[in-house]
Amino acid sequence: MTYFPEEVVEHIFSFLPLHSDRNTVSLVCRVWYEVERLSRRAVFVGNCYAVRPERLVQRFPNVRTLTVKGKPHFADFNLVPPDWGGYAGPWIDAAARSCMGLEELRMKRMVVLDENLELLARSFPRFKALVLISCEGFSTDGLAAIASHCKLLRELDLQENDVDDHGPRWLSCFPDSCTSLVSLNFACIKGEVNPGALERLVARSPNLRSLRLNRSVSVDTLSKILVRTPNLEDLGTGNLTDESESYLRLSSALEKCKMLRSLSGFWDASPICVPFIYPLCHHLTGLNLSYTPTLDYSDLTKMISRCVKLQRLWVLDCISDKGLQVVASSCKDLQELRVFPSDFYVAGYSVVTEEGLVAISSGCPKLSSLLYFCHQMTNEALITVAKNCPNFIRFRLCILEPKKPDAITNQPLDEGFGAIVRECKGLRRLSISGLLTDKVFMDIGKYGKQLEMLSIAFAGDSDKGMMHVMNGCKNLRKLEIRDSPFSDVALLGNVAKYETMRSLWMSGCNVTLKGCQVLATKMPMLNVEIMNELDESSEMEENHGDPSRVDKLYVYRTTAGARNDAPDFVKIL
């Protein structure tokens, strides 16, 4: 191989799709390292604090697609205090200085400021795609900058971000010369947009394939837009609350969209709108009704029973077990199902139980990805599900009440989850809930050989539980644990493991400051972050007896050393 000219080596590398493969070839020799780094087009940074941005852009100056993830996953549930970190600024600054060819930036759970977006908009002449997921810190002014200055913009995809609304001006900032949009998702923008500006933008975007509107867009505006987008494949509607006449216009507009395969939105959807969607149903492969508490079980099933090609369904638990039976008998190609709770304020009751899940598993053998919030579960049901669907890659079950046992036998759910990990040999992600002893962790450690991410809440009896996982799950990358009785013994039981993982999160457990200090001393390649909140949350009340008990612990491997942007409440050992 060393006799080949570098261009040939580079060409060979271009056939390696996985980051991990490219990382591996770069280790072979200096020549390959150089060829690889200069030809690398896409870099994925799973933890923004694992590597210094400057270091990264120096190594890969020709990168075109940069993906960076910030806060730990439990930040989604307010377990990470605000101002913890995850700032996009340093990444955009570094790229602006060294990677002029940047075309795509994808960020998840990061703090992005308007000034960062402004710098982004001005720094990269070939910039094409911005994808922000669960980010915060910016306003529509930042979006205005992107719209104004990114002349080749193809994709602006804003998923579930917390965006400050400074008015509808931003959408009008797309210049008349901007005709390149392929994907526009502004569903998370809270305020109004100018319907005229939106219509004109769509009219001059002949390549538009994906359009997700926000709540402010009326049925009338949607109808006018859809007439212009015959090639639309993915649509997120605005609100669907109008009177029935508007739906007639909508219906005829929708008929023109023969390529439409995926639907979402349905904000405040009135049941009146349901029949007008019917003509689309037969072709749909994706349907997200999980933000629509206004449609009940009967509306939902009328729609879904017609979606015979459905592969991905997100729905609220008001669909009920009966509704899930309809899904099971109609949607034979279903691969991904998410059932979200509609009641999560204080009480947490759900009409969805183990019966719905068993029905789905027997009707939809291709099911590989599940997120299921439910009122109760049984071992028998889980064992049945495991037998019916051995192809699970992601299995996330959330029984709303912590530590709830098998609803029939009152036993822990160890057997049930054990069956899942045993039968589903390709399982990569698992979230467990309900009453669970150390036994379930024995099975997870024994059978979870492909497991990459494990989420544990209110589970286990002793340190042995966590040890089973740490010692058994060879491919574990992310471990997140809350309110489980694991102590320093478990934390320190296999310290070398942490260098093979991206991160560990432990909150509400029994680790102490001393244990964390030992970990930090033994493993200098890790950042050991401790957060003890000063405000009196209920978790602190149990902490009275032991001031050295650590409330929240976040451990991650890094080449960057301790970060310098940590707030006061974060202590890095």
> Where does this chain bind other proteins (CB under 8 A)?
74, 76-79, 134, 160-162, 188, 190, 215, 239, 241, 243, 267-268, 270-272, 290-291, 293-294, 296-298, 318, 320, 322, 340-349, 351, 373, 375, 398, 400-403, 431, 455, 457-458, 482-483, 537-539, 541
400 near 434, Cβ under 8 Å?
Answer: no
Our CB check for other proteins shows the closer of 167 and 485 to be 485
Q: What are phi and psi of 332, to 5 degrees?
A: -70, -15
Among the listed residues 548, 403, 429, the one whose alpha carbon sits nearest the alpha carbon of residue 482: 403
Among residues 224 and 375, whose Cβ is nearest to other proteins?
375
Phi and psi at residue 126, to the nearest 5°: -105, 20
For residues 309 and 281, what is the distance between their CA atoms, to the nearest angstrom? 8
Q: Single out the residue of 557, 556, 551 nearest to residue 80, CA to CA.
A: 551
| Least distance to other proteins, CB of residue 321, Å | 10
Nearer to other proteins, 6 or 162 (CB): 162
Answer for the pair 349, 375: CB distance below 8 angstroms, yes or no.
Answer: yes
CB of 537 to other proteins, least distance (A): 6
Q: Which is nearer to other proteins, 267 or 554 (CB)?
A: 267
Give 560-566 contacts, CB < 8 A, sequence gap 24+: 560/49, 560/50, 560/51, 560/52, 560/55, 561/527, 562/527, 563/49, 563/85, 563/527, 565/85, 565/87, 565/90, 566/84, 566/85, 566/529
CB 441 within 8 A of CB 469: yes
CB of 396 to other proteins, least distance (A): 9
For other proteins, the closer of residues 26 and 161 by Cβ is: 161
**Two tokens, residue 54:** 């400057």
Strands 210-212 and 183-185: parallel
Minimum separation from the CB atom of position 270 to other proteins (A): 5
Q: Least separation, in Å, of the C-beta of 520 and other proteins?
A: 26
Pairwise CA distance, residues 405 & 413, whole Å: 6
Residue 511 CA to residue 524 CA, distance in Å, equals: 19
Distance CA 102, CA 550 (A): 41
Q: Taking a C-beta distance cutoff of 8 angstroms, is the pair 279, 251 a contact?
A: yes
Copy the structure tokens of residue 471: 């010692």
Residue 257 vs 400, nearer CB to other proteins: 400
In angstroms, what is the minimal distance from the CB of 403 to other proteins?
6
Q: Pick the closer one to other proteins by CB: 164 or 268.
A: 268
Nearer to other proteins, 147 or 398 (CB): 398
Shortest Å distance, C-beta 290 to other proteins: 8
The bridge status of strand 526-531 relative to strand 552-557 is antiparallel
How far apart CA 60 and CA 13 sit, in angstroms, is: 15
DSSP state of 73: G
**In the complex with other proteins, which residue's Cβ is closer, 346 or 496?**
346
Cβ contact 173:147 at 8 Å: yes
Q: Which is nearer to other proteins, 50 or 272 (CB)?
A: 272
Distance CA 472, CA 467 (A): 8
How is 405-452 classified by DSSP, letter by letter?
Answer: --TTT---SHHHHHHHHHH-TT--EEE--SS--HHHHHHHHHH-TT--
Please choose, from the candidates 558, 504, 555, the residue with its C-alpha nearest in 3D space to the C-alpha of residue 45.
558
The upper half-sphere exposure of residue 339, i.e. CA atoms within 13 Å in the direction of its Cβ, equals 28
Buried b (16+ CB within 10 A) or exposed e, 131-150: bbbbbbbbbbbbbbbbbbbb
Token match 């244990």: residue?
515
Comparison of 297 and 554: residue with beta carbon closer to other proteins = 297
In angstroms, what is the minimal distance from the CB of 144 to other proteins? 22
- Taking the complex as a whole, how short is the minimal distance between the CB of residue 151 and other proteins, in angstroms? 31
Neighbours of 513 (CB within 10 A): 18
Q: Which residue lies nearer to other proteins by CB, 86 or 341?
A: 341
Residue 455 φ/ψ, nearest 5 degrees: -120, 125
- How far the first Cα of the chain sits from its last, in Å, is 45
Cβ pair 492, 525 in contact under 8 A: no
- Closest approach of other proteins to the CB of residue 310, in Å: 21
CA angle 214, 220, 222 (to 5 degrees): 45
Q: Provide, rounded to whole angstroms, the least separation between the CB of residue 411 and other proteins.
A: 14
Nearer to other proteins, 131 or 150 (CB): 131
